[in-house]
Structure 1
Amino acid sequence: MTASMRVVQAQVAGKPFVLADVPVPDPGPGKVRVKVHACGVCAGDEIPRNGFLGTQLPRVPGHEIAGVVDALGDGVDMWNVGDRVGVGWFGGSDLTCDYCRRGDFLNCVDRKIVGSTYDGGYAQYMVAPQDAVARMPEGLDFPEAAPMMCAGVTAFNALRRSHAGPGDLIAIHGFGGLGHLAVQFARAMGFRTVAISRGRVKQELARRLGADEFVDSTATDPGDALHAMGGAVAILDTVSLGGLQSALVNGLKPNGQLLVLEGLDPIHVTGHNLVQPQLSISGRYAGHARDSEETLNFAVLRNIRPIIETYPLDRAEEAFENLSQANLRSVLLPQ
């Protein structure tokens, strides 16, 4: 008799998630099966929930996965049963296209998205290609590690690949589930860090996590505030609203960067405002499995941890609805 497992599925686009029982999947050639101990809930789970990006429903969401290798498919030579691992947004690449041959795996023409291209971590078990799996260091428990597989690696990669160096002024716009991790990474990298948020409710926490300065965006224009501080070398925007992103450009110093993570609204800025001080607006997102490993290792080295709230698998809908709750990363515990 085939063993079964509990999963949460997006079954109808735009409708609530549904708890279901399905067969435990077998790993095919080149793939590993992961016993999921924790899976973060992310705004990116809107993609399978709504059937975006060609997602075929039903689909099991979840791309912030932490667990243990449970079984190996034929030809797997990178992993052993019992390895502690994570699986993030990056779901594997073809390894043969021009981008992959240059090492630019995130732009693979046939890249996969975990929880969209194939079933993700709102489940007791999931299967992923071996190149999509990241090794997890000791020192992180599974619920702490899970949000690092998307929110963590996104913040870490954007900051370390910016033009900023130790002592430079950088700003984190938005102090929520991703922003509270970005402030911690920025502090650990040696930046002079400014947290920008609506109101002052989060000011004490922002400073406790490493912010040197705090800007209340309801009391002052954040671009003007940063300009008065001498300008930021980089601004990491986690709010993803075009009007707010546009206003931040004024807060950059010459040669500064606005690092944008998402957003459907147009960003309005004149060529003159970009050219005169040689500013740039750059898109950033997630990272591949090696990036995730480096994020996890750095988090252990510098004691960076997400603020989390945990839920059992059968409360996945509630966890998803609570995504807007301040400073929390919701994490499902499927086992």
Structure 2
Amino acid sequence: MIDIPKIQKAVVCTGPNQPWTVLTEYPVPHPGPYEVLIKVIAVGLCGGDGVLRSGGMPGLNYPMVAGHEVVGRIVALGSQVHDESANDGSIWRWQAGKPSGMFDGWAWLYRCQVDATDLGYLCISGSDTAHATALTRDGGLAEYTIAHYTALVPYPDNLPSIQAPLLCAGLTCFNALRHAHAKPGDSVLIIGCGGLGHVAIPLSRAMGLRPIVVSRSEAKREAALELGAEAFISSSTNDLVHEIARVVDTPFGGPGTGPGGVNVVLQTAPEEETLKRVADALAMDAEVFLLGEPESMRIDLPLMPFLIKRASIRGWTAGVPMDAHDTLRFCVQTGVRCVVRTTTLMGAEDAYTDMGATRFRTVVVVDPEETQKERDQGLA
């Protein structure tokens, strides 16, 4: 067991629209009965961190440690946490030293009426039972953090800690794709090629689907193709539907579809105008997954393509810890990885403000000795 200090470095947001501040004497938390203490190794930066930054959600607490894509090692167990050495039948058993990922937790619950289903993040029993990492309780941009034991997933030994974004970006895209009705050989139109979109490409490929990227950033064409996109189409093209048809054209289109269309759309970037134009390129029974929010928080779409083609619109946000566990296992098995660059706790604020220029995710390395060990072991 390691010696646990009383104070630590932490990246803290002091209030809405305030820059993140690195505090060098932030108290190390003590785990409650149902919590564990985690020594943090790495934390991904995410567009979702903007909710804490802007104060754009009711119930936020300040000051708050940022960061919800957390990988670390358990160093202490709360008194009521099931120890791995205890044969008590619990599926939630942990031990000190065990590598773990903290579920990004847009709302991980532990007394919720729907918690027994796969919809545990949709709390209907009141805000007192729901917690969101780095929104209602401290996140992971610190040397130590605590988590409720049901908010953890085992982190694979053969996956580097800097793949922390798989716990959020990877989870969101993986979960949407596996809940789609697409079958191998079907096409997936990915709007955007940023933090979400870039990992959606290899995930689609690994599931036997045909990823097509539409983005307003021409600079990402080469990267999208390298990641496995079948085609890259600039959203600024005059005839977007025609360009999509050139890729997915088949002689087997159904009534009202012409010669085919795209089977799944993943809207990973707030390109509302692109989404409107794509409506005419949908196949019969196509599914449109909304994974990212436009600034207006509203989307105006043409109705007729959805009526004629029996298309559906589905919102999707992350998942529950079991989904995160499935995501990590799938990525280990298939070799899917996020493209990341790294920085330190001291560089977290600059990295966040420069997020739009990042290719494609930034990960804050909190424990460089641990990540160096992983590199020495050949983890990639």
The TM tier, using the shorter chain, reads over 0.9
How far apart in 2 are the matches of 1:245 and 1:25? 44
Matched, 1:245 2:248: no
Matched, 1:217 2:247: no
Change (3 A) 1:74 1:167: same
- Residues 84-163 of structure 1 mapped to structure 2, 5 A cutoff: 84-90=99-105, 91-97=107-113, 99-109=114-124, 110-144=129-163, 146-163=164-181
Asked if the contact 2:187/2:263 (under 8 Å) is kept, the reply is: yes
How far apart in 2 are the matches of 1:47 and 1:310? 22
Matched, 1:263 2:281: no
How far apart in 2 are the matches of 1:119 and 1:199? 34
Q: Which runs of 5+ in 1 are unaligned?
A: none
- The letter for the 2-side match of 1:240 is P
Q: CA RMSD in A?
A: 1.7
Partner of 1:332: 364
Partner of 2:215: 197
Asked if the contact 2:119/2:319 (under 8 Å) is kept, the reply is: no
Partner of 1:46: 50
Offset of 1:221 from its aligned partner?
4.2
Matched, 1:32 2:48: no
Give deviations 1:210-251, integer Å, cap 9, x for gaps. 111221212244444324523111010111243332222222
Matched, 1:75 2:107: no
Partner of 2:184: 166
Change (3 A) 1:115 1:283: same
Asked if the contact 2:199/2:337 (under 8 Å) is kept, the reply is: yes
Asked if the contact 1:47/1:55 (under 8 Å) is kept, the reply is: no
Partner of 2:201: 183
Q: Which moved more, 1:40-49 or 1:212-221?
A: 212-221
Change (3 A) 1:161 1:221: farther
Change (3 A) 1:268 1:150: same
Asked if the contact 1:227/1:253 (under 8 Å) is kept, the reply is: no
Change (3 A) 1:130 1:221: farther
How far apart in 2 are the matches of 1:217 and 1:117? 37
Offset of 1:271 from its aligned partner?
3.6
How far apart in 1 are the matches of 2:173 and 2:241? 21
How far apart in 2 are the matches of 1:178 and 1:283? 15
Q: Secondary structure at the match of 1:46?
A: helix
Q: Which moved more, 1:29-38 or 1:224-233?
A: 224-233
How far apart in 1 are the matches of 2:70 and 2:202? 21
Asked if the contact 2:341/2:359 (under 8 Å) is kept, the reply is: no
Q: Secondary structure at the match of 1:316?
A: helix
Change (3 A) 1:6 1:210: same
Partner of 1:66: 71
Offset of 1:269 from its aligned partner?
2.5
Partner of 2:6: 3
Q: Which moved more, 1:124-133 or 1:322-331?
A: 322-331
Asked if the contact 2:112/2:120 (under 8 Å) is kept, the reply is: no
Partner of 1:304: 336
How far apart in 2 are the matches of 1:150 and 1:225? 31
Q: Which moved more, 1:268-277 or 1:249-258?
A: 268-277
Asked if the contact 1:316/1:332 (under 8 Å) is kept, the reply is: yes
Partner of 1:283: 315
Partner of 2:62: 57
Offset of 1:156 from its aligned partner?
0.7
TM-score normalised to structure 1 length: 0.94
Identity over the aligned pairs, expressed in percent? 32
Q: Which moved more, 1:223-232 or 1:62-71?
A: 223-232
How far apart in 2 are the matches of 1:223 and 1:318? 39
Structure 1 ranges of 4+ moved more than 4 A: none
Asked if the contact 1:27/1:127 (under 8 Å) is kept, the reply is: yes
